[in-house]
Structure 1
């Protein structure tokens, strides 16, 4: 055999290997069926991640496409058919919720703060469209307090760090402040709880099984009876 022939045999062997690999991939349905999930950043807890991991291992054909974001945007995209499941925070749950739980809210300041906040009060907020942001503004308007935005953070972590360093006050879920260098600021009064709700289009089948597992995580987190 000539040198050119040996060279072509090498190419042919590689082509055959690629063909075999392609056939194997086509026969394996792993990750071929997407389930689209949207949830706020702080709802992606270790317990929720564990549920996703176990579910994915039990159902190899399923691919979990998880998106985090602001609740209003997630709700709008869900209503437009872009998600199969969402967890969102809202003033009150819509009638078609699968389950909903109350989330305790409160104002917080840095634990190192040594002076009372005077007008205008510095605020640490989420971007426009964030539920906490609107409630903050509404509360201060009711209290006839002057305010300004000292910091806007796109993530819960950035907001918490900014409050810790004393940049301003913020309205936050109480559960997210455990272990942080912040303390409650009660001068602005009590805050009504926010509803944390889970929605799904599917009432039966594989998606509903995942929704039930996600609901159990929320139920344990909020230590509340399920409202279905």
Structure 2
């Protein structure tokens, strides 16, 4: 029986492992040579080199049929895994394009409807693009962008901020329940975003100015929660015009409520942002 001293080796030759696996799978040096388009002597030489590398005999040559030694039993599983990983790496790199990640932040009321359809279409045109989307309150998105945790942000802010790459007006309106109006109650019940959230201070300031008593009856960071609370008659709210539901009725000057026109939407990204980011920013602008 072949006995070989252990040799310290850091890397196993994939070609030798491929030959080893072929001999085991075929059960014969001769058949393996045919599969590998090689000769039996070359296959034998490669197995001998592998055994020299690992310092153990991996095949029992004392029998007519090919059998694994104890060391060969341990090596065959590693060999298959190493070869599979090698093929996976070659396939991934042969695609020629490295995956690009864009971290996008959008307000919750943009995170549905036309936005998702646009993002599906955009990623379809750029199959090597990976989008990581964060939805939340604009104040939180702004902080994430400032900390460098977003590449592109669609952020609501007050007019006059004069920040952002592009800015657009965000029309607002007062909304009440169509089925169970709440506006005439005393105090006026308000449905609002959390403290320091957009529109909340404007709502409070309006009713303080009108001299009407008010109280916050429902507070949520979820647009869907705000919409549902108003629709069910819990109270009134101030929301973007595009978020009004059929179950809402819009209140205006005929109800003594002023027009609130102090909000805008802005896109944020670095001045040296890449082509994909600027293209996505343009696509976002088409939704506004």
Report TM bin, short chain.
0.7 to 0.9
Go from structure 1 to structure 2 and tell me whether the alpha carbon gap of 1:116 and 1:148 turns closer, same or farther (over 3 Å shift): closer
Distance 1:11 1:175 in 2: 59
Higher RCO structure (Cα 8 Å, ≥6 apart):
1
Q: 1:134 aligns with which of 173, 198, 201?
A: 201
- C-alpha distance 182-20 of structure 1, shift in aligned 2 (>3 A): same
Give a deviation string over 1:139-181, Cα, whole Å, max 9, x none: 12212222222111221111111111111111111221143x1
Partner of 2:132: 65
Retained in 1: the 8 A contact 2:141–2:153?
A: yes
Contact 2:173–2:241 (Cα < 8 Å) also in 1: yes
TM-score by length of 1: 0.81
Mapped contact 1:40–1:70 kept (Cα < 8 A): yes
Alpha-carbon contact 2:181-2:233 (below 8 Å) kept: no
Deviations 1:20-79 (A, max 9, x none): 224434565777322221111112343332332233233333322211111122123223
Distance 1:8 1:44 in 2: 51
The reply to whether residue 183 of structure 1 matches residue 255 of structure 2 is no
Segment drifting more, 199-208 vs 165-174:
199-208
The 5 A counterparts of 1:59-98 are: 59-92=126-159, 94-98=161-165
Partner of 2:283: 213
Corresponding position of 2:107: 40
- Counterpart of 1:197? 266
Regions of 4+ moved over 4 Å? 2-8, 26-31
Residue segments in structure 1 that go unaligned for 5+ positions in a row: 219-228
Q: Please say if residues 188 and 215 of structure 2, whose CA atoms lie closer than 8 Å, have aligned partners that are also in contact.
A: yes
SS at match of 1:131: coil
Which residue of the partner structure matches residue 190 of structure 2? 123
Q: How does 1:165-180 map to 2 (within 5 A)?
A: 165-179=232-246
Residue 198 of structure 1 deviates from its aligned partner by 1.7
1:178–1:168 Cα change, 3 Å: closer
Q: Distance in 2 between matches of 1:54 and 1:114?
A: 40
Task: State whether structure 2 residue 228 is matched by structure 1 residue 158.
Answer: no
| 1:144 to 1:27, Cα distance in 2 relative to 1, 3 A | farther
Moved more, 156-165 or 93-102: 93-102
Aligned pair count?
Answer: 217
Q: Does the C-alpha gap of structure 1 residues 64 and 29 become closer, same or farther in structure 2, counting only changes over 3 Å?
A: farther
Distance in structure 2 (CA, Å) of the matches to 1:114 and 1:96: 38
2:4 equivalent in structure 1: none
Q: For 1:106, what is the secondary structure of its paired residue?
A: strand
Instruction: Kindly indicate whether the alpha-carbon contact (under 8 Å) linking 1:31 and 1:60 is maintained by their aligned counterparts in 2.
Output: no
Instruction: Name stretches of at least 5 consecutive residues in structure 2 with no aligned partner.
Output: 1-66
* C-alpha contact (below 8 Å) 1:84/1:202 kept by paired residues: no
What TM-score, normalized by structure 2, do the two folds share?
0.66
